[in-house]
Amino acid sequence: MSAAASHDHTKEHVCWGGGCKHTQHHRLEVIDLGVQYQEVRALEKINFATECGRSMALIGPNGAGKSTLLKSLAGLIAGDSGKILWRGKPLTRSSHEIAYLPQRGDIDWNFPITVRGLVEMGRYPNLGWWRQYSRHDADIVERALTSMELRDLQDRQISALSGGQQQRAFIARALAQEAHVLLLDEPFTGLDKPAQENLSRLFKELTAEGRLLIASHHDLQTVKGNFDDVLLIRRHQIVFGPVAEAFTPANVASAYDNPDQAIRN
Amino acid sequence: MSAAASHDHTKEHVCWGGGCKHTQHHRLEVIDLGVQYQEVRALEKINFATECGRSMALIGPNGAGKSTLLKSLAGLIAGDSGKILWRGKPLTRSSHEIAYLPQRGDIDWNFPITVRGLVEMGRYPNLGWWRQYSRHDADIVERALTSMELRDLQDRQISALSGGQQQRAFIARALAQEAHVLLLDEPFTGLDKPAQENLSRLFKELTAEGRLLIASHHDLQTVKGNFDDVLLIRRHQIVFGPVAEAFTPANVASAYDNPDQAIRN
Amino acid sequence: PLKVASLHPIVSDLARQVGGANVEVIDILKPGGDIHHFEPAPKDIAAMRGSKLLLASGKELETYLDKLRDSLGSGVKLVEVGEKIPSIPFVCHEEHDHAEHDHHHGEFDPHWWHSAENMKRAARIMSDVLSAADPANEAAYEAGAKAASKRFDELKKWAQKEVAKIDRKDRKLVTAHAAFGYFCKEFGFESMSVLGIGRNDDASSSHIAETIEEIREHGIKAIFPEDQANPKVLAEIARSTGVKIGDPLIADGTAKNAHTFETMLAHNVRAIVAALAPASAN
Amino acid sequence: MPLPTITDFLAEPIAKRALLACLMIGFANGFVSAFVVLRKSALKIGTISHSLLPGLAVAVLIAGLSQWSALVGAIFAALIVGLGSIFLSRTSRLDQDTAMGVLYTTAFAVGLQILRGLNVRQKLDEWLFGSIIGMADSDLWIAFGISAIAVITLTALQRPLIIYLFEPNIAASLGVPVRLLNYATFAVTILVLVSSLQAVGCILSVGLMVAPAATMYLLTNNARALFWGGGILGALGSMIAFFLAYPLGWSPSSTIVIVLGSFFLLAYIFSPKYGLFSKRGSVA
Amino acid sequence: MPLPTITDFLAEPIAKRALLACLMIGFANGFVSAFVVLRKSALKIGTISHSLLPGLAVAVLIAGLSQWSALVGAIFAALIVGLGSIFLSRTSRLDQDTAMGVLYTTAFAVGLQILRGLNVRQKLDEWLFGSIIGMADSDLWIAFGISAIAVITLTALQRPLIIYLFEPNIAASLGVPVRLLNYATFAVTILVLVSSLQAVGCILSVGLMVAPAATMYLLTNNARALFWGGGILGALGSMIAFFLAYPLGWSPSSTIVIVLGSFFLLAYIFSPKYGLFSKRGSVA
Ligand SMILES: Nc1ncnc2c1ncn2[C@@H]1O[C@H](COP(=O)(O)OP(=O)(O)OP(=O)(O)O)[C@@H](O)[C@H]1O
Ligand SMILES: Nc1ncnc2c1ncn2[C@@H]1O[C@H](COP(=O)(O)OP(=O)(O)OP(=O)(O)O)[C@@H](O)[C@H]1O
Ligand SMILES: [Mg+2]
Ligand SMILES: [Mg+2]
Ligand SMILES: [Zn+2]
C-alpha cells in the first residue's frame, strides 16, 4: 500500500505533488475524543471536522491539551474514548499521508546525519523500503531546504546548528514528506521574524495546494491572517469554527482568563 | 567560597534576597569576544558593558550567535579571543551569581524528580554541599513556584508536564537561584500569552530589585516595553545601547534584511 | 623421526618416554597453559605441520576436540590417550550418601593421569598408536613403553612407601575440587572436596557446614588447595577448624615446574605426606 | 549424619563473618546502586567487572600472582577502562558506551596476549572472586572500610550529585564541580564493585549494584530515597538470602541476587505508581 | 627447525579455513557494528554475550549437553535477556540498561543454581567459545549463513532503520514499522554475536562488533557509510590480524581485536573532522 497508489489524483498538481484539488474533499473528523494520562485528564469531548485545503489554528493555554491532540492525530497516542476518522476510516498509526512536527523531540543530536539527510528522511513514506531515491525526490528535498533557507547549511551535522536552524530543519523534513495532512506543534518556536513570516506564507501556499494544515501556537495576533479555522481548547473544547466567527475576544477570554486555575494542572 | 559570603550587601533587600541596591553598581563587561565552533565563526568582536539593575534584550536572526553569547557568559563555553569581566574580574565557570536558562537542555525527562525538586535545585549555589535547607529557602522556592503558576503541579514528575509547563518549571528554577545575573535563552518559548505577560512583569520586578537580566528572543514588538538596553548581533555586533536609541528600524533592518545570506550559516 | 603434536604436557612427556629418539613431540599446550581452552596461535599450527598424530588426554577434558577434527588435514590422526582407561565417577564425599547430597551421575573424573597404573596403560596405548603410525620402529616403541612402565612402577613403590608414613586413619585427602579420585583410589585415600566439581562453583553454606563437621568428626589434619587457584575459602575453613593448609597440589599436570608424571606425582606425594604424616616420620 | 541446624552453623565464626559480610556488602552496594541507576550505568558496571583481566595480567607481569597483586591489578584495570572511556568520550564524538566497548575489548586482547607470553593460566580472575562465605578478617575490614567511604562520600556529595545526574550543563552553570564529582563518584563505584566482586563474583556483583535502586526507582520520585532505600533493600535482601540459602543448599551469592531480583519483580508488577497494574498513559 | 614461511602455512587446509573465517566474520561483524554503534548498544551486546549461561543451563536440563543444545540454549538466552529487557523498559519507567542489568544477573544466578543441581562438570560456556583456528565445517557454514542473512537484512532494512535509529517517534509518525524493526534487527544482532562467539570468544566478540563502526563514526556523517565502511574495516582488520599473528606467534582472536582497536585509535587521533587534532568547538 504505497502512498503514491492512494494518491490517485496527484496528476493535477504542478508542485508539492501530493495535495488534492478535486471536488470531493478529504475530511478529517474528530468525534468525542478523550485522552487520559495516568491521573491527568488531558482532553475531553473534542469534536470537529475539517478537510483538505483548510488550515486550522490550535489555540489554548499551557496544558490545554494541544500537543496531546496533535499526537493523537498523528497516531502516537491512543485516546480512551471517541474516534478519529480520516477519509471516513479510523486513523492508523502509520498513515503515510500525515506529517507530524513534535514540540520537543527526543533527538540524539550527535547522530551522524546532516541537515540534508534529515530532510531526505521525509521522503521515506513515499519511497518505502525499496524504491530508488529519484531526481524527483531530490528536487522536492531541494525545494524544502530552499524554502526553509537551509541550502547553505545542508551539509552540517545537525548538532552544529543554532536552535532556530534546527527547528527549520525539522520543518523542512515535514515539508519534504508532501503529506496530505500537516500536524505542526508550535512550528514558529525559535524562528526569527523573517523565517516566521516566510512560514506563514508557506502555510498559505500549502493550503492553496489542497493540503490540510493544523498548527498549535501561542501568538494570538497571527491567528487572524494565517488560518481559516480555529479550535480553542482547554481540556474541553471551547469553540471550533472559521476564525472570523470563532476567534472572538469573548471566546479567547474564556480560554485564558479563568480565575479557576484548575485547567493548568 | 559560599555565595552568601560574596553577597555582602544582601541585607538591604526585602524580597528576592540577592539583588543589589547600592551606589556602586556591579558591571558586566564583554570586551572583543570571539567564539569559534570547528569551522564556524559564531561570534566576533562583541563589546558591551552593562550593570545590575538593567535588563538587556539580545536580538538577532537565527544563527546570529545569541545562544553562543549566553553560553559564554554562563561560562559553559570558552571564547577564543577577548574577555568577559564580571565585577572587574574574569568570569569563572562556576560563578554562583549567575543563573542560566538554556534554550534546549539535554534533559533526562524520566529522572525521578518532581517540579518542586527541580526548582529546589536552584537553591544549590546558596546552600552549597552542606548547609541545611531552611524555611527561608522553602519560602523562596514557594515564591518561584507561585510566580510561574506551578503550585498545583509541584508534585508532578517533570515528564508529566506540557511543553509550556516544563519551560515554566525551568524558569522557576532560575528564579529560585536568586542570582545577580540572569541569562535567559528565549525564555518566552512555549509560554501562553498570560504567562508571557506575567514573565514580562517579573522582569521589571527583577531589575527593580537590582538584578542584571539578559534575555534573547525573537519577538521584536515586545523589546520596547520590556527592556532597558538592546544588543543587536549577527555574528558581529550591530549595535548596543538603550532601546530608545539603538532599536531603530534601520538597525533592525541591517540585522535581518540582508540579501547576503552568509550569516545564516 | 615421527612427528607428533600434543595437547597435554603429561601426554607429551609420555610420548617422549615411549618414543625416545624416534619421535619428535611438539607441545601445542605449553606448561603453564590452560587445558580447558584451546587457542593456538597460527605459529603453533605451523609448527605442527607434518605431524602424523595429535595427542589429547581425552575423557572429555578437551571439550573443543569435536570442532578441531574438521580443521585437521587428512594426514593427521587425533588420539585421545585416556579414552580406553577405565573411568571412575566423580566423588565428593565418598563414605556417606545423604539424600540431598549428589553423586555425579554419568560424570567421570577426567584426571586419569594421577595414577601410575593408568600411566602404564597409557604407555601401552602410546606404543600402539606410535607403532601404527610408524610400523618400522614398532619394537623400539614397545621397549620404550616397557621402560616407562618400569619407571612408573618404581615411582608407585616410592609413593606407596611415602604414603605409608601416614597413619591409616589419617589417609583422607580434602581438596578444593574433586580432581584426585584416581590418586585416592590407587593410594588408599578417602577423598573429599570442599568446593564441588567445577572450578567456578561457589560452595553453598550448608555444604561448607557439612565439610566443617566432617573435618572435625574425622579428625582430619590438613586440607589442600590447588596449584594456581585461590586458596581463600580453604583458608577460612582451615581457620575455623584449626587444621593445617598443605602445599598446593597439582591437579592438571600443567604446572610450570612439574608437568611430567614423575614430577607431578612426586610433588603431590611430598606435599600430602608433609602435611598428614606425624611429625616424627618426616 | 544430619545437616547441622542453622543455629549450630551460626555459632561458627565463618558463618558469623558471612552474615556480617552480607549485611555490609548488601548495604553498601544497595546504596551505591542508586547512583548506578540514576546514572544509567548498570551495563558500564557490568562491563568493568569483566575487564579486570588486563589489569591482572599487568599485575602478574610486575609482581607475580598473589591475592594482593590481583586486587591492585583489578582496581587499576577498572580505573583505566572506566576513566579512559570517560576521557575518550569527552574528547571525541562517541558516547561513553561505545568508547568503553572498544577500550575494554582491546585491553582484554592485550591482557590475553601478555598472559600467553607469561605462560600463565588464563583463568586468573578466579583469584579475585572469593565467596561471601570465605571472607577473611582482612576482607571484612576492607569491605567495612569501603562501605563506610562509599556511604559517607555519596551522602556528603548527594546534593550536587543529584543536580549533576539530572543535567550536567545545568549543574555546571549552578557551580557544581562537575568533573570532580564525575571522577570521585566513579572511584567510589569502582571500590565498591571490587569489594563486592570478592564476595559474590563477577556477574552477580552487578546484580547487587543495580537491583536495589532499580526496585526503588519503581516506587518513588524522590532521588534521595533511592540511596537510603536502596541500601536498606540491599542489606535486607542479602540477609534474607543468607538464611534461605542454608536450608536450600544454594550458593549464597546466587541466592542474594535471586532474592533481590524477586524484590524487583514484585515492584515491577505491584508498584502503586509505576507498576504493571497502575494506570499509566495508554500509549499506543 | 625454522618456522615454515607463511605461504607454506597457507597451504594447510586449517590455515585456509581460518583465513576464510576471518574474512566472513570480520565483514559480518563490522557491518552489524554500524547498527550497534548507532543504537549505542555496545555494552548491551557485551552484556548479552555474558548472559548465555542461563540458556545453556536450561538447554542442558532439557536436552543434555551437546554442541547443538548449547548453541540453541545460547540463542535462547540471548533472546530472553535482550527482548526481555526491551519489554521491561517498555512497560516500566526504567531504561533498558537498568532493566537488562537486573534481568541478566538474576537469570545468571538462576542458571548457576540449575547447573549446581545438575552437577555438570565444567563451566559450560566453554562449549561455545571456539577459536577462529579450529572451526568445524559446520561452524564455517553457520558463519557464512549468518553473515549473509545479516548483510542482506540490514541492507534491505537500511532506510527505515536509519530513521528509526535517529528518532523512534518520528519514525513511527513516518510509518516505519518500529516494533518489527526493533525485533528483527535485534534477532540479527544476536545471530551474528553467537557466530562470532564461536570464533573469538565471549569478550573479544564484542570488540569485533563495536570497533569497526566506532572507527567509521569518527570519520563520517553519513550513516550509510557506517555499514559498508564498518564491514570493510572489519574484514580488512581481521585479515591483517591473521597475517600479523603468524610471525608474532600471537593468538589470532586477540590480534584481530588489537588491530581493530589500533584502527580506532588512529581515527581517534587523526580523523580530519572529529579527531583529537581537528579544531572542534573549544568547550571549556
Ligand atoms: N556545536 C556547533 N558546531 C558548529 N557550529 C555551531 C554549533 N552551534 C552553533 N553553531 C553555529 O554557530 C552560529 C551561532 O549559533 P547560536 O546557537 O549562537 O545562534 P542563535 O543566535 O542562538 O540562533 P537561534 O536564534 O536560532 O537560537 C550558527 O551559525 C550556528 O550554526
Ligand atoms: N506524560 C504525561 N503524563 C501525565 N500528564 C501529562 C503528560 N503529558 C502532558 N500531561 C498533562 O496533560 C495536559 C495536556 O498537556 P499537553 O502537552 O497536551 O498541553 P499543551 O496544550 O500542548 O501545552 P503547552 O502549550 O504547554 O505545550 C497538561 O495538563 C499536562 O500537564
Ligand atoms: Mg504542547
Ligand atoms: Mg539560540
Ligand atoms: Zn565434588
Kindly report the protein residue whose alpha carbon is nearest to atom 11 of ligand 1: A161
Cβ distance of C31 and D119 shorter than 8 Å: yes
Scanning E202-251, the segments in alpha helix (DSSP H) are 204-208, 211-217, 223-248
Find residue B89's DSSP bridge partners.
B86
Cβ contact B220:A156 at 8 Å: no
Query: Contact partners of E by the rule of 3+ C-beta pairs under 8 A?
Result: A, B, C, D
Q: Which segment of A30-44, C122-136, D195-209, D247-261 scores lowest on mean pLDDT?
A: D195-209
Ligand 2 binding pocket includes A261 (Cβ within 6 Å): no
pLDDT computed for residue C150 by the predictor: 93
Of A36, A93, A110, the CB nearest to D284: A93
CA-nearest residue for atom 11, ligand 2, is B161
C32 touches chain D (CB under 8 A): yes
Mean pLDDT over D49-73 rounds to 79
How far apart are the C-alpha atoms of C250 and E180, rounded to whole Å? 54
Burial label, B200 (beta-carbon count in 10 A; 0-12, 13-18, 19+)? middle
Report how far ligand 4's centroid is from the alpha carbon of D91 (Å).
24
Cβ-contact C41, E15 below 8 angstroms: no
Residue D35 distance to chain B (closest CA, Å): 12
Note the pLDDT of residue B4. Answer: 41
**Which atom, in ligand 1's list, is nearest to the CA of B265?**
29
Max Cα separation, chain B?
58
Per DSSP, the residues of A166-182 read: HHHHHHHHHHHTT-SEE
Is this complex's ipTM strictly greater than 0.95?
Answer: no
Mutational pocket test of ligand 1: of A162, A166, A188, A191, the residue with most ligand atoms within 8 Å of the beta carbon: A162
Q: Is B94 on the interface with D (CB under 8 A)?
A: yes
- DSSP tag of C255: B
Predicted local confidence at residue B259, as pLDDT: 45
Whether the per-residue pLDDT at D127 is higher than 70: the answer is no
User: Do the beta carbons of residue E97 and residue E44 sit within 8 Å?
Assistant: yes
pLDDT-above-70 percentage for chain E: 89
Domains in chain B, start-ordered, CATH in brackets?
A: 26-94+218-265 (3.40.50.300)
Q: Which of E241, E250, E272, E274 has the alpha carbon at shortest distance from E30? A: E241
Per residue of chain C (282 residues), give pLDDT as tens: 889 999 889 999 999 999 988 999 988 887 777 676 666 777 777 777 788 899 998 887 777 777 677 777 677 888 999 888 888 776 544 444 333 333 333 467 788 889 999 999 999 999 999 999 999 999 999 999 999 999 999 999 999 999 999 988 888 888 887 788 899 988 988 888 776 655 445 667 777 888 888 888 888 889 998 876 777 778 888 888 888 889 888 888 877 788 889 999 999 999 999 998 887 655
Residue D111 has pLDDT above 60, yes or no: yes
Ligand 2 neighbourhood includes B55 CB (under 6 angstroms): no
Question: Does the CB of A37 have a partner CB in chain E at under 8 Å?
Answer: no
Best mutation site among B68, B80, B183 for ligand 1 pocket (most ligand atoms within 8 Å of CB)? B68
- Find the CB nearest D18 among C205, C206, C217: C205
D109 to chain C, any CB pair closer than 8 A? The answer is no
Among A114-123, A247-256, C53-62, E84-93, the range with the most confident prediction by mean pLDDT is A114-123
C41/E252 touch (CB, cutoff 8 Å), yes or no: yes
Helix (H, G, I), strand (E, B) or coil at E71: helix
Task: Say whether pLDDT at E171 is over 60.
Answer: yes
Residues 24-83 of E with CB under 8 A from C: 67
The CA-based dihedral angle spanning residues C65, C66, C71, C72, taken in that order and rounded to the nearest 10 degrees: 60
Res E283: pLDDT: 39
**Do residue C233 and residue D18 have CB atoms under 8 angstroms apart?**
no
> Which of A38-42, C56-60, C67-71, E147-151 has the lowest average pLDDT?
C67-71
Across the interface, whether the CB atoms of D279 and A38 are under 8 A apart is answered yes
pLDDT tens-place string over residues A204-242: 988 888 889 999 988 888 888 889 999 999 988 888 989
pLDDT at D130: 62
In this structure, are residues E130 and C64 in contact, taking their beta carbons and an 8 Å threshold? yes
**DSSP label of B7:** -
Q: What are phi and psi of D190, to 5 degrees?
A: -60, -45
Which of the residue ranges B96-105, E21-30, E168-177 has the most confident prediction, judged by mean pLDDT? E21-30
- Mean pLDDT of the D20-47 span: 89
Residue bearing the bigger pLDDT, A228 or A79 = A228
- CA–CA dist C182, C156 (Å, integer): 13
Could you tell me which of C118, C251, C119, C265 has the C-alpha nearest to residue C180?
Answer: C251
CB contact under 8 A, A152 and B262: yes
- In this predicted model, which residue has the larger pLDDT, A45 or D284? A45
pLDDT at D212 over 90: yes
User: Is ligand 2 within 6 A of the CB of residue A64?
Assistant: yes
Question: D166 and B121 in contact by Cβ < 8 A?
Answer: yes
> What's the CA dihedral at E101, E102, E108, E114 to 10 degrees?
-170
Q: Report the greatest alpha carbon distance in chain D.
A: 69
Whether D277 has a pLDDT exceeding 80, the answer reads: no
Collect all residues of chain D within an 8 Å Cβ-Cβ radius of residue B72.
Answer: none
Residues of chain B scoring pLDDT < 50: 1-23, 259-265
The arithmetic mean of pLDDT across residues D3-18, rounded, is: 79
For residues A146 and A156, give the distance between their C-alpha atoms in angstroms, rounded to a whole number.
Answer: 15
A117-126, E115-124, E245-254: least confidently modelled range: E115-124
How much is the average pLDDT of E59-63? 80
Q: Collect all residues of chain A within an 8 Å Cβ-Cβ radius of residue D278.
A: 38
Please judge whether E170 and A121 are an interchain contact, meaning their C-beta atoms are less than 8 angstroms apart: yes
Nearest residue on chain D to C97, judged by CA atoms? D1
Least confident piece of the model among A27-36, A160-169, E169-178, E211-220? E169-178
The conformational region for residue B82 under phi > 0 = left, psi -120 to 50 = alpha, else beta, is: left
Distant-in-sequence, close-in-space partners of D254: CB < 8 Å, separation ≥ 6:
C202, D204, E109, E110, E112, E113
What pLDDT is attached to residue C103? Answer: 37
pLDDT at C197 (0 to 100): 53
Nearest CA in chain B to A66: B162
Contacts of D246 in chain C (CB under 8 A): 204-206, 209
For E195-211, write each residue's pLDDT tens digit.
787 777 777 788 889 99
Q: In the predicted model, what is the mean pLDDT of residues D214-224?
A: 87
Q: Which atom of ligand 1 is nearest to the CA of B186?
A: 27
pLDDT at D170: 77
Cβ burial, residue D187 (10 Å; 0-12/13-18/19+): middle
Highest mean pLDDT among A245-249, C138-142, D277-281: C138-142
Q: Using alpha carbons, select from C114, C112, C110, C124 the residue that is nearest to residue C156.
A: C114
- Ligand 1 atom index nearest CA of A162: 17
pLDDT > 90? residue D7:
no
Going by pLDDT thresholds of 50, 70 and 90, the confidence category of residue D68 is confident
